[in-house]
Amino acid sequence: SVSNFVKVVEVGPRDGLQNERHIVPTEVKVEFINKLSDSGLKNIEVTSFVSPKWIPQMADSAQIYQKINKKPNISYPVLVPNMKGLEDAMKVNVREIAIFLAASETFSRKNTNCSIDNSMKIAKTVIEEALKHDIKVRGYISCIVGCPYEGQIQTKAVTNLAAFMLQCGCYEISLGDTIGVGSPNKVKNVLHELEHVSNDMNKFAIHCHDTYGQALVNIYASLECGIRTFDSSVAGLGGCPYAAGASGNVATEDLLYLLHGENLETGVDLNKIVKIGEFISSQLQKQNQSKAAAAILAK
Ligand code: HMG
Ligand code: MG
């Protein structure tokens, strides 16, 4: 039987902030993450150890990781693209990393200056080295149903990467609809094909951007397929700088409203998340993208 518990992975501090043009002060990021640590979330992706020339917003990753209040029962993964990123992350004693590959050749080159084949080789080395040091590794696959440059993506490209990353030792693969072009049956089709890679759906997570307003229906479709881990961003922050027009992730508030409404347990306090969404939106001087937050705040 499928469990009633759903794991929510908050990616706001990383995916949410990486697309912000104005550099957010380190203290604000730290306060944001510390508030998230008090909401019941058990997985918070806090920053990325990528090239600051590519993503200037993430230049303070080592400081962020050192300054945040790390609770013992919470995992604080960081995104890592290569060996240099892993080495820098290890210097500040990171316990979990996330590596990222793309199912689209063009997106891979735009995002990491690297072919899919080459990035797989790099990923393998990084994963092996991380595991040697007892660092957990999560894997991402971008463009699972569509690419901003190539359009439709072959499902085979997704299943190949998923099999590869699981074999390398990733404990979970987060499937990214990077530009939010999926619809329920397209997502279900990918998940059905992935059952041939692993029949344990707990190996997979769904990472929906809400560009076309399809995130929640795709999440519901994934729930029906047995997925029990979802990535989201408080206030719907986010987007990938190498995917023009990509809007934020599904808002954590909206995701929680759906899950709790369906009597699924997350351990996360929705009211606290709403307050954090307001905090970070006002800091960024951005409109909060969560509909659930707007409704709750209007009461
Ligand atoms: P490159 O320019 O080809 O790198 O970039 P390089 O190896 O040729 O090195 C060039 C310079 O960068 C060198 O410095 C390196 O030391 C430095 P220099 O000698 O010129 O002074 N460098 C680094 N510095 C800090 N940290 C590092 C690092 N690596 C090299 N880790 C690279 C290749 C992969 C580094 C670059 O393309 C990059 O950082 N890309 C990351 C882009 C990114 O962060 N994208 C967003 C995250 S992915 C995403 O959002 C999708 C996701 O949310 C899922 C979904 O929605 O689908 C996960
Ligand atoms: Mg993303």
ipTM higher than the 0.90 cut:
yes
Q: Which ligand is nearest to the CA of 240?
A: 1
Atom of ligand 1 nearest to the CA of 48: 44
The CB of 55 under 6 Å from ligand 1? The reply is yes
- 168 classed as catalytic: no
Say if pTM beats, i.e. exceeds, 0.90: yes
Task: Say how far apart CA 252 and CA 6 lie, in whole Å.
Answer: 13
- According to the model, what pLDDT value does residue 53 have? 97
- According to the model, what pLDDT value does residue 243 have? 72
Task: Say how far apart CA 20 and CA 17 lie, in whole Å.
Answer: 5
Q: At what angle are helices 252-261 and 215-224 packed, to 10 degrees?
A: 40
Low-confidence ranges of the chain (pLDDT < 70): 1-2, 239-240
Asked if residue 41 lies in contact with residue 10, where contact means CB atoms within 8 angstroms, the answer is yes
- According to the model, what pLDDT value does residue 27 have? 98
| Atom 32 in ligand 1: residue holding the nearest Cα | 112
Choosing from 147, 168, 170, 240, the catalytic residue is 240
Asked if residue 49 lies in contact with residue 89, where contact means CB atoms within 8 angstroms, the answer is yes
Question: pLDDT tens digits, residue range 53-101?
Answer: 999 999 999 999 999 999 999 999 999 999 999 999 999 999 999 999 9
- Contacts of residue 77, defined as CB under 8 A and 6 or more positions apart, other chains included, come to 43, 44, 45, 46, 94, 96, 97, 98, 136, 138
Question: pLDDT tens digits, residue range 164-201?
Answer: 999 999 999 999 999 999 999 999 999 999 999 999 99
Residue among 47, 36, 135, 137 nearest 93 (CA) = 135
- According to the model, what pLDDT value does residue 1 have? 45
Q: What would the two tokens of residue 65 be?
A: 């990781």
- According to the model, what pLDDT value does residue 2 have? 57
Among 50, 109, 141, which is best to mutate for testing ligand 1, by the most ligand atoms less than 8 A from CB?
50
Residue written as token pair 């951007």: 209
The CB of 289 under 6 Å from ligand 1? The reply is no
